């Protein structure tokens, strides 16, 4: 798993590549905690290069969503496809993170 | 039959998922690409692996995670065996779909994507099965027949 963060005004794009699972989700946690601590207003999680996600990875993103929303911000997801899309659709989270799609 | 046994530790997750993914290829013609069938099998099997490593061997030295994979032209069966703590799948917490869960989604994902049976014992045996149906994933077919 690799990730990169790009800030532009109030928006942050967090791009996560590879696999986000029980092994790698803990590696992403500090970056997610930083977004919450900095009270970023809009966080877009770009998953266009994410190959695989499991329930631990979903849990990390849901945790980010809850905490950013609690601070008055919002979290969106872009680029979902293949296996990660299947998981988000199964859990009906695509409607939460990609409203109107 | 494909047989694999690895230590029940998360660092072996990629190894076992690669084997399952490769086995899925044997259920379809070589010319066809990975599809929903593969995604759902790998997702369910990955949750089974997590379950054993995170919950099964919690508080004890990890034993093995063993799997036997039967591949047919249109189906796959994964028989997972471990010697960790067993669980009662009927007591698994329900999942309000669309709710914002941070955990407890593993069994729901397994059950949704594959047929699942579980027998606690020494070893615990979890069997995950999925049949390929032309033009549709197994999940779609199950939904239509309910």
- Residue A88, domain member (yes or no): yes
In a domain, A69, yes or no: yes
**Gap from A53 CA to chain B (nearest CA, Å):** 8
For residue B143, the model assigns a pLDDT of 41
Q: Do A53 and A21 touch, CB atoms closer than 8 A?
A: yes
A18 inside domain: yes
- Give the total number of structural domains in chain B: 1
Structure tokens at B44: 């369910």
Number of compact structural domains in chain A: 1
**SS3 (DSSP) at A67:** helix
Task: Choose the closest CB to A91 out of B36, B42, B97.
Answer: B97
Q: What ipTM was reported for this prediction?
A: 0.91
Minimal Cβ distance to A56: which of B11, B39, B50: B50
DSSP annotation string for B1-40: -EEEEEESSGGGHHHHHHHHHHHHHTTS-TTSPP-HHHHH
Q: Walk along chain B (146 residues) in steps of 10 and give the mean pLDDT of each run.
A: 96 96 89 85 97 93 95 94 90 73 89 95 96 61 38
pTM of the model: 0.89
Residue A41: which CATH number?
Answer: 3.30.750.24
Write down the pLDDT at residue B93: 67
Give me the pLDDT at residue B98, please. 66
Determine, yes or no, domain membership for A101. Answer: no
Interchain contact B142–A (C-beta under 8 A): no
Size of interface A-B (CB pairs under 8 A): 69
Domain harbouring B56, CATH code: 3.30.565.10
Instruction: Give the distance from residue B105's alpha carbon to the nearest chain A alpha carbon, in angstroms.
Output: 6
Domain extent for A9: 2-96
d(CA A66, CA A51): 24
Q: Please list every residue in chain B whose beta carbon sits closer than 8 Å to the beta carbon of residue A63.
A: 102
Consecutive 10-residue runs of chain A (101 residues): their mean pLDDT? 96 98 96 96 97 96 96 95 94 84 65
């Amino acid at each position: 798993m690799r990730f990169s963060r790009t800030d532009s005004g109030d928006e942050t794009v967090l791009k996560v590549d590879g696999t986000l699972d029980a092994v790698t989700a803990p590696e992403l946690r500090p970056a997610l905690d930083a977004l919450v601590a900095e009270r970023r207003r809009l966080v877009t999680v770009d998953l266009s290069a994410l190959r695989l996600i499991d329930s631990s990875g979903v849990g990390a993103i849901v945790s980010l969503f809850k905490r950013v929303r609690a601070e008055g911000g919002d979290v969106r997801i872009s680029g979902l496809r293949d296996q990660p899309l299947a998981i988000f659709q199964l859990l009906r989270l695509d409607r939460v993170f990609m409203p109107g799609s | 039959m494909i047989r694999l046994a690895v230590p029940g530790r998360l660092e072996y997750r990629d190894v076992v998922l690669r084997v399952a993914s490769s086995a899925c290829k044997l259920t379809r013609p070589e010319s066809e690409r990975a599809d929903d069938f593969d995604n759902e099998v790998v997702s369910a099997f990955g949750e089974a692996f997590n379950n054993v490593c995170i919950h099964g061997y919690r508080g004890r030295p990890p034993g093995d995670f063993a799997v036997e994979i039967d591949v047919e032209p249109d189906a796959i069966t994964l028989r997972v065996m471990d010697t960790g703590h067993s669980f009662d799948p009927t007591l698994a917490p329900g999942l309000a779909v669309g709710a914002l869960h941070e955990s407890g989604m593993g069994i729901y994902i397994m059950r949704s994507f594959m047929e699942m049976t579980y027998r606690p014992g020494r070893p615990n045996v979890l069997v995950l099965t999925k049949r390929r149906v032309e033009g549709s994933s197994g999940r779609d077919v199950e939904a239509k027949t309910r």
